[in-house]
Structure 1
Amino acid sequence: MTGSAEARVRELALDLPDYANPPYGRRYGRIKPFHRIGNLLELSGLTPENRAGDRLHPGLVGRDVTVEEGYAAARLTAIHTLGMIRYALGSLDEVVSLSRALCFVACPPGFEDLHGVSNGASDLFNDVFGEEIGTIGRASIGATALSRNNCFELWLSLECAPLREGE
């Protein structure tokens, strides 16, 4: 895929959240939504929880949530992540390359299909950015619990275009 990530979001009819209002993190205390160091942007953890606090498929994957539902939750989390990237950079077209994702999957001990859940986020990023920009280094980590009983959480680091003079 070549072209604009913003155009691709429109083609896919994705509804990206606006993280400017209300401010990010109001249910979780005082946290920083993102941190930029030069061309590196690091995002705080995002979940399959909408701005109103409604969660998609809460619980443990492999017990309360199927792998397919976990995949859908990871995909929705990636959509939320796109909203945060837009908030941080102004446009998804400022993304040069996704670099690292830490995917946390809430699951019982012994659950082995972590990658099957995390693929929901990875596949969405490839759909929006294409393989060259959207293919990401990823670790999928099993967790016994995540905040507010979410089944998935994503931490993302990416390379962005240099700041232009005056920014």
Structure 2
Amino acid sequence: MHIEKRLDELGLVLPEPMRLPPGAELPFPWVRIHGDRAYVSGHGPLAADGSLAEPLGKVGDRLTREQGYQAARLTGLAILASLKRELGDLDRITGWLRVYGMVNTAPGFTETPGVINGFSDLILQLWGPEQGRHARSAVGLAELPYSIPVEIEAEVAIT
């Protein structure tokens, strides 16, 4: 339970499962295991109780780059919570392979890599430079579901 101990040392708490907005239906799993890989569906930032974390909206308009960074970090915790529920133990993750970060951007906002660094920095802090290093994209989009500022999906190697 090395990773969970590290989370405790950093004072980080994994959120409860996402509480979907009324009327929302998501007919797919948050994590899909296939062989020695776990594929993580797109997650957004969650509060500790599983509700969508505030503030919502576009980075570069309603949110600053720094608030976007924090939203990406919260998204990372949401992903870790889903992986923990599916795998039972986060130490089963032997490597972070690929991360696709999407930022809900205002026109002209081009600092998406700095926003998604909130996620990457968290993973590197927990897993270190070898296991935590990952290929990554950070793109800006006109809209994201429910006005979340960040959505991230990932692929990890597992035992």
Instruction: Summarize the alignment of residues 29-108 of structure 1 with structure 2, pairs less than 5 Å apart.
Output: 29=25, 30-50=27-47, 51-108=49-106
Aligned-pair identity (%): 30
* Aligned residue type for 2:128: G
Give the alignment's TM-score, normalised by structure 2: 0.90
Separation of aligned partners in 2, 1:17 and 1:89: 16
The answer for the alignment partner of 2:122 in structure 1 is 124
Give the alignment's TM-score, normalised by structure 1: 0.86
CA-based RMSD of the aligned residues comes to 1.6
Between Structure 1 and Structure 2, how many residues are aligned? 155
**Deviation of residue 5 (structure 1)?**
1.4
Separation of aligned partners in 2, 1:141 and 1:74: 13
Separation of aligned partners in 1, 2:106 and 2:65: 13
Gaps of at least 5 residues in structure 1 are 162-167
CA change 1:5–1:52 in 2 (3 A) is closer
Displaced runs of 4+ in structure 1, greater than 3 A? 24-28
Separation of aligned partners in 2, 1:54 and 1:39: 31
SS of the counterpart of 1:59? coil
* Aligned residue type for 1:145: E
Residues 1:138 and 2:156 are matched in the alignment: no
SS of the counterpart of 1:60? coil
Deviation larger for 28-37 or 121-130: 28-37
For the 8 Å contact 1:18–1:87, the answer to whether it is kept is no
CA distances 1:76-125 after superposition (whole Å, capped 9, x unpaired): 11011111111111111000000011100000233210011000000000
For the 8 Å contact 1:106–1:151, the answer to whether it is kept is yes
Separation of aligned partners in 1, 2:15 and 2:50: 11
For the 8 Å contact 2:15–2:46, the answer to whether it is kept is no
CA distances 1:17-38 after superposition (whole Å, capped 9, x unpaired): 243xxxx574331332111110
